[in-house]
Structure 1
Amino acid sequence: MSTPPQATTSPGPAARGNPAAVPAADRGATRIADRVVAKIAAQAAREALTAVPGAPPHATVTVHHDIARVHIGLELGYPSDLAAQCAAVRGRVVRLVEEYAQMAVPEVDIDIERLHSAHTRTAAGRDRRLR
């Protein structure tokens, strides 16, 4: 006489290590490199300064936990409202870094490294052609 097969119970999803059973906060961590956040910040500054002559903005960022401190270098046109342009850059950088990287941005330091006027642009262009 044969014995009936015994019912085996398989371990539940949590016992097998199913990731869905483990809370998201306990599965690991995501770290976004400073240089990635700097690229987001530089692109945001570029978007805020449409049609401004000169070199594109560059950014450096220091990230500590989920807080990013941003430093932007700009070349702006002159005469213009420099404060308004800087405020637009700050607002755009804060919004996009918070949105894309999920980091708080308590400060955005801006250095205006060079001013360009219509007069200096044409004079510089003539000097280059004469040489």
Structure 2
Amino acid sequence: MSAVTTGTDAVRQPPARVPPAERGATRIADRVVAKVAAQAAREAVGPPPADAGPPHATVAVHHDTARVRVDLELGYPCDIAARCAAVRRQVAERVGALVNVTVTEVVVGVERLHPSAAAAGRIR
């Protein structure tokens, strides 16, 4: 038994393999990038004071770059500049590694300082 093919019965070929770079794109929502940035800020500052809220981040992503703003509350006394620098480094590193975007700017806003119990006794 032989198979006879006509013009309409042509043997189907599997589709040509498309290289991965040409198959499409993955878009990560800005709110996901913001959650990653907020988690990175939490990692950088450590446990917050008892009555402090968690860090909050907002982002603006354009193509493969992101600008991030992180608002947080810190315990006091502390080296505020060093803590903010640690947050900037951690946010840029973690967002870049996990989301694969280049972070061009990280603005850290300290919303509130929470005095420690020892410092509260000295404040008049």
Between structure 1 and structure 2, the one with the greater Rg is: 1
| Equivalent pair of 2:55/2:71 in contact (CA under 8 Å) | yes
Map 1:22-37; keep pairs closer than 5 Å.
22-37=18-33
Match of 1:40 in 2: 36
Map 1:1-131; keep pairs closer than 5 Å.
4-6=2-4, 9-14=11-16, 21-53=17-49, 54-119=52-117
Partner SS state of residue 112, structure 1: strand
Q: 1:80 to 1:122 in 2, by over 3 A?
A: closer
Large movers: runs of 4+ above 2 Å: 3-10, 119-123
Aligned pair count? 115
Give the distance between the partners of 1:120 and 1:114, measured in 2 at CA: 18
Q: 1:37 to 1:80 in 2, by over 3 A?
A: same
Q: Quote how far apart the aligned CAs of 1:6 are.
A: 4.5
RMSD: 2.2
Give the distance between the partners of 2:92 and 2:81, measured in 1 at CA: 16
Partner SS state of residue 48, structure 2: coil
Q: 1:27 to 1:106 in 2, by over 3 A?
A: same
| Equivalent pair of 2:57/2:71 in contact (CA under 8 Å) | yes
**TM-score, normalization by structure 1:** 0.78
**TM-score, normalization by structure 2:** 0.82
| Identical counterparts, % of pairs | 55
Structure 2 segments unaligned to the other structure (5+ residues): none
Structure 1 segments unaligned to the other structure (5+ residues): 15-20, 124-131
